[in-house]
Structure 1
Amino acid sequence: MTTDLSTLLTVTASGPATGRPVLVLHGGGGPATVAPIAEHFARTAPTLLPTHPGWNGTPRPENLARVTDLAGAYLRLLRERRLSDVLVVGSSLGGWIGAELAAADPDGLISGLVLMNSVGIEVDGEPVRDFFSLDARGLAEYAYHDSERFYADPASLPAERLALVQGNMAALRVFSGGPAMSDPTLRARLAAVTVPTLVLWGESDRITTPAYGKEYAASFPVARFEVVAEAGHLPHLERPERTFALLDDFAERTGRG
């Protein structure tokens, strides 16, 4: 029996009714972390920003427990909405989902893939930082170029906000499989992905290092690797002008229209 996507996914749609569709996929921090990306594209393109099941208090069915499950659900979303020539932009865990989407897209609905400081593959000598072992201070120091600007003392957060963060972390642990945050089979499968790909990385990221990102790009037959200086795991938050310039250039080069 096929699950009704309307009960499975929470999706915010914005932007004009016509144009090249953009699917923006968030990481462990939730949709707020990529909202600026969605807002940027929504100025000129129909843009979808899902909240992954389990984040922000949304329900997570038991049959959704792996990144491949999420990728399958989003591929169904594209089919049911009759979308094609889709640009997929994924941040961190969202990049892993995007990579799985591109690897499981037999109909060629996706025409461009952007991975931003993504997790998902295994790289010898460059393990993904154990995200779950870090406290708030450690997370800020490993994830951002300017840690003081983005550090939030948990003691200063309202109870509702703290509960939301804890719920998002629990969902992240389920889908990522814990500290490894990778699928040992993914890298080999990316060798068959021919969709144009941009792998974009914050130079100061110590969750997933630029060396890890360079290997991620090398996993695809053809991929462009770009580094954003003075930025960490979320380059669009620390260096939006440079990041959006790279995104816009890639979008312009890869559309089929």
Structure 2
Amino acid sequence: MYAQMQGEVATVAMLLVPGFMLDADLWRDVVPALGDYGPATYADLSQDASIAAMARRALLDAPDRFILVGFSMGGYVAREIVRQAPERVSALVLIATSARGDSDVECQRKAAVAGQSAGTAFRGLSRLAILSSLHPDNAGRADILERIQAAGQRMGGDAFRRQSLIERKDERHVLASIRCPSLVIAGEEDRLRSRAEALELHHGLVGSSFEVVAEAGHMVPMEAPQSVAAVIRDWLDQLNTGA
């Protein structure tokens, strides 16, 4: 099934898709270690109010053919990109994400945001919310907290409202339709996306690979960038050699 990939992966570009209230800075320490796999392009999720619209916008600026990497909410966008343009995606990497639809708790949060005035002042993501996304050992990492808070402030209140209200549909029953080589990466102590959700993706994506990154919570690309890059690089190297 993956024979068409051999010898191709190293020559294509990468399209990297961030998560909720994050931007290209998420990948700052990951991309330099993936230089053998072409130039990096970054999806902008700040302007649209649906997963489908985010995917369409990302495709407008994407290379003709690319390795696709999606983190958290960006994993939903990445899978939609594959559905919209399967011929352009050489390989798919999903990090700290899920194929489940919105839970009851998430629906309640959306209702709370929808009930707020559009003019409500946005002060960025709270420290408590950010800490819940980190491995306990990284709670004192001021550098990571500052980067996440800064990204939220760059995105702004309008993007926060749009992204908070986005509907995530249950995709578990359609994962098998994705036929490109796929890699699922989970953080060892991700408190936002469970190991069960990562394994659902792995089992649903035909022939996919699965890796757990140690000493990382949900914010895997920031908490363990070198480990993430090594996992992706090793997997792509295996695709190139047909291993």
The TM-score range, normalised by the shorter chain, is 0.7 to 0.9
Q: Which amino acid aligns with 2:84?
A: A
- The alpha carbon displacement at 1:161 in A equals 7.1
Q: For each residue in 1:101-141, what CA deviation from the matched residue of structure 2 results, as whole angstroms up to 9, or x when unmatched?
A: 223334x22111000002442399998996999x7233233
- The total of aligned residue pairs comes to 216
Structure 2 equivalent of residue 90 of structure 1? 70
Q: Provide the secondary structure at the position in 2 that maps to 1:36.
A: coil
Which residues of structure 2 form unaligned runs of 5+? 1-9, 114-124
| Alignment match of 2:29 (pick from 36, 39, 56) | 36
1:149 paired to 2:149: no
1:173 paired to 2:164: yes
1:209 paired to 2:202: no
In structure 2, C-alpha distance between the alignment counterparts of 1:237 and 1:26, rounded to whole Å: 11
| Alignment match of 1:24 (pick from 10, 13, 16) | 16
In structure 2, C-alpha distance between the alignment counterparts of 1:104 and 1:255, rounded to whole Å: 25
| Alignment match of 2:129 (pick from 134, 139, 142) | 139
* Structure ranking higher on relative contact order (CA contacts 8 Å, 6+ apart): 2
Structure 1 equivalent of residue 54 of structure 2? 70
Instruction: Give yes or no for contact 1:126–1:209 (8 Å, CA) kept in 2.
Output: no
Q: Provide the secondary structure at the position in 1 that maps to 2:192.
A: coil
- The alpha carbon displacement at 1:208 in A equals 0.8
- The alpha carbon displacement at 1:247 in A equals 0.8
Percent identity reads 21
Q: Which amino acid aligns with 1:113?
A: L
Structure 2 equivalent of residue 15 of structure 1? none
Q: Do the aligned partners of residues 244 and 129 (structure 1) sit closer, same or farther apart at CA in structure 2, a change above 3 Å counting?
A: farther
1:240 paired to 2:219: no
Which residues of structure 1 form unaligned runs of 5+? 1-17, 55-59
In structure 1, C-alpha distance between the alignment counterparts of 2:78 and 2:39, rounded to whole Å: 18
Q: Do the aligned partners of residues 21 and 162 (structure 1) sit closer, same or farther apart at CA in structure 2, a change above 3 Å counting?
A: closer
Q: Provide the secondary structure at the position in 1 that maps to 2:177.
A: coil
Instruction: Give yes or no for contact 1:22–1:41 (8 Å, CA) kept in 2.
Output: no
Instruction: Give yes or no for contact 1:103–1:193 (8 Å, CA) kept in 2.
Output: yes
In structure 1, C-alpha distance between the alignment counterparts of 2:36 and 2:30, rounded to whole Å: 10
In structure 2, C-alpha distance between the alignment counterparts of 1:114 and 1:245, rounded to whole Å: 13
Q: Which amino acid aligns with 1:234?
A: M
Structure 1 equivalent of residue 95 of structure 2? 116
In structure 1, C-alpha distance between the alignment counterparts of 2:36 and 2:238, rounded to whole Å: 18
Structure 2 equivalent of residue 13 of structure 1? none
Q: For each residue in 1:62-121, what CA deviation from the matched residue of structure 2 results, as whole angstroms up to 9, or x when unmatched?
A: xx421012223333444xx4x22x210111111111111223334x22111000002442
1:183 paired to 2:169: yes
In structure 2, C-alpha distance between the alignment counterparts of 1:189 and 1:213, rounded to whole Å: 15
- The alpha carbon displacement at 1:148 in A equals 2.3
Q: Provide the secondary structure at the position in 2 that maps to 1:242.
A: helix
RMSD between aligned alpha carbons? Answer: 3.5
Structure whose residues are more often helix by fraction: 2
In structure 2, C-alpha distance between the alignment counterparts of 1:144 and 1:248, rounded to whole Å: 24
Instruction: Give yes or no for contact 2:99–2:197 (8 Å, CA) kept in 1.
Output: no
Q: Which amino acid aligns with 1:183?
A: K
